[in-house]
């Protein structure tokens, strides 16, 4: 099972990113663990300078702006491209 973390302090783009990942996982029939990380100290551990950041299985796959649905599908299906 893939584990996603969305890093951000609660901005609208962070909330949209969470929703998109959840919707795409459901659409593709992929079970995931989805976590929202809002603590700045935790976000900084990943070296993210602009949010939202997306972590997949402890690797940064996206930072800054809302990821595309195509990118999210790629992460769900095994590709780690940005």
Q: What is the pLDDT of residue 81?
A: 46
* pLDDT of amino acid 78: 86
DSSP-assigned beta bridge partners for residue 55: 5, 60
Model confidence pLDDT, tens digit, residues 25-71: 999 999 999 999 999 999 999 999 899 999 999 999 999 999 999 99
Q: Where are the domains of the chain?
A: 2-77
Query: Which pLDDT tens digit goes with each residue over 12-21?
Result: 999 999 999 9
pTM of the model: 0.91
68: tokens are: 């595309």
Matching residue, tokens 């809002």:
38
Q: What is the token pair recorded at 80?
A: 């780690």
Q: What's the topology of domain 2-77? A: Glutaredoxin (3.40.30)
């Amino acid at each position: 099972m893939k584990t996603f973390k969305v890093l951000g302090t609660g901005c609208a783009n962070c909330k949209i990113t969470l929703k998109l990942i959840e919707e795409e996982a459901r659409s593709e029939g992929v079970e995931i663990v989805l976590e929202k990380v809002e603590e700045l100290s935790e976000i900084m551990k990943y070296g993210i300078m602009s949010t939202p950041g997306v972590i997949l299985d402890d690797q940064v796959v996206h930072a800054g702006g809302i990821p595309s649905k195509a990118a999210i599908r790629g992460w769900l299906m095994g590709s780690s491209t940005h």
